[in-house]
Chain A
Amino acid sequence: MMTSTASNTAESAGLETSPPTQGALATGARKRRGHNRELRLFLWSLPIIVFVLAAIVGPMVVEYDPVKVRTGDRLKPPGAILRDGSRAWLGTDQVGRDMLAQVLQGARISLLVGAATVLFAGLIGLVMGTLAGFYGGFLDALLMRLADIQLAFPSILLAIMIAAVLGPSVANVIITLSLTRWVTFGRVARAATLSAKERDYVIAARSMGAGTPRLLRWHIVPSTIAPLIVIATVEVGLVIIAEASLSFLGLGTPPDQPSWGQTVAHGRDYLNRAWWIATMPGLALSIVVLSVGAFGDRLRDYLDPRMRGA
C-alpha cells in the first residue's frame, strides 16, 4: 500500500539501469526509439489529464450534496434509474447519494492534497536541501540527521501520529503529509546542490564576485529543479495513497468531505448488499496512482540521457 512509501522513491529514481548497448544503433532506430518514448510519455499522461479535468470540472457538472438523504434510492446498483428519473452510473450509497458525484468530489480532494503537499514538501525540501548542501558543516549535519530520524519512522506511522494530534481536516492532512514527505526532496536537492557547487560555471560565477544569494538563485537552485520534478511525480502517487489511507482510518478528511478513502471505509459495511460503494472510489484511486507512477517512470527515462540509446 502506501507502505511502499518512503524508500521506494529512491530506488525507482535511480536503480533502474540501462545496460550498455551492444554497438551503435542505426540513426533511424534511435529516432524511432526516441519517438516511442515521447508517445509513451504522452499516453500515460492521458489518464492524469482526465483525472485533473474530472477533479476540476466534474463536481460542477454532477452536483454532490453531502447532507442530502434520499432513502428511496438507497444502495442502488450501477446504472439504476433513480426516482427522479436520473441514472446513477456508479450506483448510490447507503443514504442514496450518487456514487459518481462522490467519486468526482473525491478526485478534487485527492488532486488538491496531492498537488499542495508535493508543492509544500518540495519547497521545504528545496530550502533545507540546498542550504545543507551549500553551507555544509554543522547545518548540513543537523538537517540530514533530522532527515535520518524522520526516516526511522515507518512513514505512515508518523503521519498517523501527527494527523491524530491535529484532527481531521483537509488543511491538516496537507500539513501532516508535507511534514512527513519533505525528506526525499531534501536529500535530492542536497545531492544536486553538492554536485552543482563544484561545477566550473559556479566556480566561475563565484570568482567573478557573485554573492551567495545570487549564486543560489541563478546557479544552484536551477540545477536542482529537474531531479526534484522527477521525484515529485513519484511522490504525488504516494501522497494520494497516504491521504486516502488516513481518511480510511478516519484521520484524514472530515465527514462532509468525501475523500476516496473515507467512502471506501463506509462501503466496507455494505459489502454484501452493495459492492460498488467500496469498489468504485478504490478503482479510481488505483487507476490514478498507477498512471502517475507509470508517467513518472517514463518521465525519468525521458529526462535521463543515459536511457537514450547509445
Chain B
Amino acid sequence: MTPYLLRRFAYAIFVLWGALTIIFVTIRIVPGDPASMMLGAGATEEDVAALRHRLGLDEPLPVQYVQFLGDAIRLDFGNSLWLNRPVLSSIGERITATARLAVTAMAIALLVSFPLGILAALKKRTFIDGLVSVVSLLGQSVPSFWLGIMLILVFARQLRLLPSAGSDTWKHLVLPSVTLALPLIGVLTRLVRSGLLEVMYEDYIRTARAKGLDPRSVLVRHALRNMLIPVVTVAGLQLGNLLGGTVIVETVFGWPGIGRLLVDAIFNRDYPLVQAAILCITATFITINLIVDISYVYLDPRIRLQ
C-alpha cells in the first residue's frame, strides 16, 4: 500500500512540475514583450524597462525559469499589477467562493445522477431509459454559458424567483451551481447506468440472486459497491472540468471566485495574477486526482494487496 501511495505522490509532483513548465513557456512565447503589452500603447520606454526588471524579464530564460520554479515552491507570486497587492491574498479570498460553488454543484450532480442512472439501468430499453438518455445527452450538449443565461432569463427576469448575480445568500448559489452541475449529471448518469448494467451480468450477482437475496440488497450491497470505482474515477476527473467550468459560470453569474478573477486578470494583462490563478486551479485538480487515487485503496482491496 505505501509504495503505491508513494508512487502516486511522486507522479503528482512530476505532473505539477510539468504544468508549471507549460505555464512558464506559454506566457513567454508571447509574440512581443509581455511588459509592454501589460502597460499598453501609451507607456514610455523607461516604464517598460522598469517593469521588465521588476518581473525579472531582463534575465536570461534559464535564470527566469529557476526563479519561477523557486517562487512557485515558496508560493511567492509577487504583486498583482492591476490590484497592486500580493497575488496570493487575492487568490485566497476568491478560492473559498469557487470551492463553495464547485462542491455544491458536485453534490447536486451526484444526488441526481445516481437515482437517474440506477432507474435507467433497471428499466433498460424502456421509455424511461430513453428519457434519461435524452436528459444526459442534453446535459452534455448545452453549453453552460448559454444555459446560465437562459436560467437567468427564466428564473431571474421572468419569474423573479432567484437573483441573477451576487453571492450573499443561498439563493445566489442556486442558479450557478445548477448550471455547473448539468454537464456533470449528463456524464455521471451515463456512467452509473452502464456501470450498473455491466456488473449485473457478473457471476457474483447471479450467485446473490440465486441464493434468494431480495433484489434491493443485491442492488445496494453487491452491484452498487462494485461500480463505485469507475464512477469515483470519472467524478474526480470531471471535478477538473468542473473547476475549468467555474471560469465560465462565474463570469455569467458575477460570482466572486477564482475563475472570474482569472478572466479579469487576462483582460487587465496582469500576468503574475494569470499565472498564479491558472497554477492554483491546476494544482487543485492534481490534488483531487491524487485523492481519487488514494481512495481506490479503500474502495478496492485488490489494489491494497498489490
Binding site for B on A (CB under 8 A): 1-8, 11-12, 15-17, 19-20, 145-146, 148-150, 152-158, 160-162, 164-165, 237, 241, 244-245, 248-251, 261, 264-265, 267-268, 271-272, 275, 278-279, 282, 285-286, 289-290, 293-294, 297
Contacts and interface: CB of A to CB of B under 8 A. Distances in A.
B190 A1 contact: no
Contact of A165 (B26, B138, B244): B26
A44 to B, nearest CB: 11
Interface stretch (B61-69, B83-91, B148-156, B218-226): B148-156
A8 B149 CA distance: 24
B266 A251 contact: yes
A244 B145 contact: yes
A234 to B, nearest CB: 10
B22 A149 contact: yes
B16 A152 contact: yes
Nearest to A268: B149
Contacts of B298: none
Contacts of B252: 268
Interface in B23-40: 23, 26-27, 29-30
Given A152-B19, A153-B278, A154-B285, 19 more contacts: A1-B143, A1-B145, A2-B245, A4-B140, A6-B237, A7-B237, A15-B191, A17-B194, A156-B245, A157-B281, A164-B266, A165-B26, A245-B144, A249-B247, A250-B267, A261-B145, A271-B153, A282-B146, A289-B141
Given A16-B194, A157-B282, A290-B141, A245 B248 contact: yes
- Chain A interface main SS type: helix
A255 B237 CA distance: 34
A185 to B, nearest CB: 18
Nearest to A159: B244
Interface string B3-30: 0000000000011101101110011011
A149 B18 contact: yes
B127 interface: no
Contacts of A5: 241, 244
Contacts of A268: 149, 252
B195 interface: yes
A4 B186 contact: yes
Contact of B146 (A149, A150, A249, A286): A286
A256 to B, nearest CB: 19
Interface size class of B (residues with CB under 8 A): 35 or more
Contact of A16 (B22, B26, B190, B249): B190
Nearest to A163: B266
A264 B152 CA distance: 13
Contacts of B291: none
Nearest to B195: A15
Contacts of B118: none
B162 to A, nearest CB: 14
Nearest to A289: B141
Given A11-B191, A294-B137, A286 B143 contact: yes
B244 A156 contact: yes
A297 B186 CA distance: 14
Given A152-B16, A154-B285, A160-B262, A282 B157 contact: no
Nearest to A275: B153
B184 A4 contact: yes
B149 A289 contact: no
10 contacts: A7-B240, A149-B18, A152-B285, A156-B244, A157-B244, A160-B263, A165-B26, A165-B29, A278-B149, A278-B153
Given A149-B18, A165-B26, A290-B141, A17 B237 contact: no
Given A160-B262, A161-B26, A275-B153, A154 B241 contact: yes
Contact of B238 (A7, A17, A278, A282): A7
B170 interface: no
Contacts of B153: 271, 275, 278-279
Contacts of B16: 152
B196 to A, nearest CB: 10
Nearest to B284: A154
Most central of A8, A20, A286 by chain B CB within 10 Å: A8
Contacts of B140: 4, 8, 293
Given A15-B194, A264-B149, A286-B143, A3 B201 contact: no
A152 B18 contact: yes
A100 B63 CA distance: 54
Nearest to B140: A4
A152 B248 CA distance: 19
Nearest to A267: B149
Contacts of A249: 247-248, 251, 263
B190 A161 contact: no
Nearest to A150: B22
Contacts of A271: 149, 152-153, 157
A149 B15 contact: yes
B261 interface: no
B40 to A, nearest CB: 14
A300 to B, nearest CB: 13
Contacts of A245: 143-145, 248
Most central of A153, A250, A290 by chain B CB within 10 Å: A153
Nearest to B251: A249
Contact of B23 (A148, A161, A251): A161
A215 to B, nearest CB: 32
A19 B197 contact: yes
